[in-house]
Amino acid sequence: MLILASYLGSSYASDRPLSLSASLVFEQSYGGVDGDSASSAELYALLSALSEIPIKQSLAVTGSVNQHGQVQAIGGVNEKIEGFFEICQERGLTGDQGVLIPKANVKNLMLRQDVIDAVSDKMFNIYPIETIEQGIEVLTGIPAGEMDEEGSYPEDSINHRVIARLEEMAETQREFSNPPEEENEEEENSRKEDDSES
């Protein structure tokens, strides 16, 4: 969670406060998350929630992430791909299903022949990912967006939506922390009247 907080801070709060409290729940999971292979999935979930753009449910994700948004290698990549492939095969392959894996793990791939055949036939997909930006684009079909010279992102990008949502949350927090000036003046006048009456 500290890595995710560092990523969000460096990516979206270098020149503005980060007003965010988030919790993640893995539904129907009754054990702890083993290792950091889920950290990229956790970050994608946060970005999806902040941008209010849904993630494709036909894709599985594995990969560790560092505070710079680089997706790092994980263990058991073959078993993870084959496990999800079997689920998709049971439900029926559509060509939309697939797995996002760290690009660093490509050299470790030793997949079963049926998985290789399904990938060759474009009935199952394996996406080698280097950065969170690449991953969120695959998962949503929407560009992550690159920052321009003025520090802004294109309006139709994930990053623009995330920043807009964070600014909205920061403004809401400011409004609750600092009541409007009119109310402050009314309270002050009321206090003066009470003092003069006593």
Rounded Cα distance, 49 and 188, in Å:
41
Q: Which CATH number fits domain 1-16+37-144: 3.30.56.10, 3.30.1280.10, 3.40.50.720, 3.30.230.10?
A: 3.30.230.10
Q: For residue 173, which phi and psi values (nearest 5 degrees)?
A: -65, -40
Summarised one tens digit per residue, pLDDT across range 92-124 is 999 999 999 999 999 999 999 999 999 999 999
Question: Regarding predicted confidence, which is higher, 154 or 16?
Answer: 154
In sequence order, which ranges of the chain are alpha helices (DSSP H)?
A: 2-12, 39-51, 77-91, 113-120, 132-140, 158-177, 181-197
Q: Which of 121-125, 152-156, 172-176, 189-193 has the lowest mean pLDDT?
A: 189-193
Where in the sequence numbering do the catalytic residues fall? 37, 80
- For the chain, percent of residues with pLDDT exceeding 90: 55
Residue 34 confidence (pLDDT) above 60: no
Rounded Cα distance, 108 and 70, in Å:
18
The residues that bridge with 71 in the sheet, in sequence order, are: 65
Summarised one tens digit per residue, pLDDT across range 142-155 is 999 988 888 788 99
- Is residue 166 within 8 Å of 12, Cβ to Cβ? yes
Domain boundaries defined on the chain: 1-16+37-144
Summarised one tens digit per residue, pLDDT across range 59-93 is 999 999 998 999 999 999 999 999 999 999 999 99
Mean pLDDT of 46-51: 92
Rounded Cα distance, 76 and 83, in Å:
11
Question: Which residue matches tokens 């009754």?
Answer: 30
pLDDT of residue 175: 79
Q: For residue 32, which phi and psi values (nearest 5 degrees)?
A: -75, 160
pLDDT of residue 59: 97
Give 189-194's long-range contacts (Cβ < 8 A, gap of 24+).
none
Helix (H) or strand (E) holding 98: strand 98-102
Closest CA to 138 of 125, 150, 155, 122: 125
